Amino acid sequence: MKRLRCIIIFAIALSRVSTAHAADFEFPNITLTKAAFGSCHNRKYAANAQKTWSSIRAEEPQIFFWTGDSVYTKGRSEASLDALQYEYKQMKTNATLGYSDFHPPLGIYGTWDDHDYGGNDAGRELPNRRERADLFWEFLGHRIMKNRDGVYSSLTVGSAPRKVKVLFLDTRWHREQHCIPSVAMKVPLGSGFACLSRWFAAAFFPSLCPSQSTLLGEEQWQWLEQETEASGSVLTLIVSSIQVLSTNPMMEGWGHFPSERDRLFRLISQMSEKTAVYILSGDVHHGEVLDPMAMKEDSFLEVTSSGLTHDCASPFYGGLCEPLLNTYSSHRHNNIKNYYIGINYGVIHIDWDNSTVEIKVRNQDGQTVLSTGQRTLQTPHPTWTEDELRTIHTTMDGHLLPWLKTAFITILVAVVIRLVSSRRTLG
Ligand SMILES: *[C@@H]1O[C@H](CO)[C@@H](O)[C@H](O)[C@H]1NC(C)=O
Ligand SMILES: *[C@@H]1O[C@H](CO)[C@@H](O)[C@H](O)[C@H]1NC(C)=O
Ligand SMILES: *[C@@H]1O[C@H](CO)[C@@H](O)[C@H](O)[C@H]1NC(C)=O
């Protein structure tokens, strides 16, 4: 009996060890030198899709990562499963778009964002999450056998000392509502109102917003923490559909979930002792290189590439895109103009002879428009202290409160003067 118990405990321990080290998808015998990534693909811009995919195919990446919004469905309300399935099928079979004959040798991996999840700005409240996830896995062409709540997954290419790990996060399945819930699916021009409500929450009422809301959910956090310990990779890419480091309060982003963002920063700081860390994101319809500690050399960086078929300057409010990017710029790497408005995709180059990685954003014609520059993969890696993490700019900073106070005091003073002077005339 005792022996049996020992065997069981040993077996459990063994299974724990093996799950902690095995990624969901592994290519131990391949060395990764070139990957591509991208987000925000709307079939209605078919000519743009064709041009962009032709440039991406010409790059001959070994692998491609979706960083969210691989398809859009028509209409404002929640997407039906049929509508999503139809869009995925179009992607995979309609040769006009140029995606159906894109077959990088290691395949296509990634995560979803709100549109391929099935509802603009939607989170955990959306029904049929498991069916939606099944459709998404079918679109990618592989499936996680584990019964997982979310489309998060891990991938490794290569073996130590040339191992690269990619962690795809699911920022929709478990996501709680913003403190002012988004009306993007409820009223005409709802996404515009949602931008304003996020801005108000961050700029006027940060202390009224519950900072404990979850984005990833506890189960995904535990998975992520397990995936990042002892992975043996020299380069780790964290893929989040929404931006992590942006200070722009109008867009969805980790800044609206302060305690979740702090938890991720602490995790990255622990990881940084063992591996170089970069974040890849999408969602916003422009390209950007973001930097949490603008003044420190070798800070961890985020590279955003979005969209593959359309950009933030094209809709009728497109004129606001550039002024907003210039206003919220404190998170930007090197130069506040380090962004790109125009259709784009991302490329990751690894030069193992020189132990460097370079992440680039390229325009529709394949020209480089943004770059991190060549960054070393050699140890020792830069690390970040708790104090340094605390200096990282946040979105929920009440930056319009001083203006509000001034306006309030001005009005108050004007009213008092008015009252006093009317008393005098009366007296
Ligand atoms: C990797 O290479 C080893 C040794 O050549 C081989 O045994 C193994 O099956 C290969 N693994 C994969 C996933 O191709
Ligand atoms: C293929 O896609 C184009 C562009 O979205 C569309 O106009 C066309 O109807 C599609 N073809 C089929 C067979 O669905
Ligand atoms: C890589 O390093 C070699 C020598 O160490 C150098 O000549 C070469 O220019 C480097 N390549 C790049 C792309 O920086």
Q: Which two tokens stand for residue 213?
A: 């809301």
State if residue 351 touches ligand 3 by the CB under 6 angstroms criterion.
yes
Q: Ligand 3 centre and the CA of 382: distance in Å? A: 22
Q: Ligand 3 centre and the CA of 377: distance in Å? A: 14
For the CA of 26, the closest atom of ligand 1 is 13
Q: Judging by DSSP bridges, how do beta strands 287-290 and 276-281 pair with one another?
A: unpaired
Q: Which ligand is nearest to the CA of 106?
A: 1
Q: Ligand 3 centre and the CA of 349: distance in Å? A: 14
Residues 6+ apart with CB under 8 A from 250: 195, 196, 198, 199, 324, 328
| 34, 350, 351, 354: residue to mutate for ligand 3 pocket, most atoms within 8 A of CB | 354
Q: Which ligand is nearest to the CA of 94?
A: 2
Residue closest via CA to ligand 3's atom 11 equals 354
Residue closest via CA to ligand 2's atom 11 equals 94
If one counts every other C-beta atom within 10 angstroms of the C-beta of residue 38, the result is 30
For the CA of 353, the closest atom of ligand 3 is 1
Phi-psi region of 119 (alpha: psi -120 to 50; beta: other; left: phi over 0): beta
Residue closest via CA to ligand 2's atom 13 equals 94
Per-residue pLDDT of the chain (427 residues; tens, 9 = 90+): 445 454 444 444 444 444 445 899 999 999 999 999 999 999 999 999 999 999 999 999 999 999 999 999 998 899 999 999 999 999 999 999 999 999 999 999 999 999 999 999 999 999 999 999 999 999 999 888 777 999 999 999 999 999 999 999 999 999 999 888 999 999 999 999 999 999 999 999 888 887 789 999 999 999 999 999 878 999 999 999 999 999 999 999 999 999 999 999 999 999 998 999 999 999 999 999 999 988 777 788 999 999 999 999 988 889 999 999 999 999 999 888 999 999 999 999 999 999 999 999 999 999 999 999 999 999 888 888 889 999 999 999 999 999 989 999 999 999 999 999 988 887 6
Phi-psi region of 276 (alpha: psi -120 to 50; beta: other; left: phi over 0): beta
Q: Ligand 3 centre and the CA of 374: distance in Å? A: 11
Max CA separation in the chain (angstroms) = 101
For the CA of 94, the closest atom of ligand 2 is 1
| 71, 96, 309: residue to mutate for ligand 2 pocket, most atoms within 8 A of CB | 96
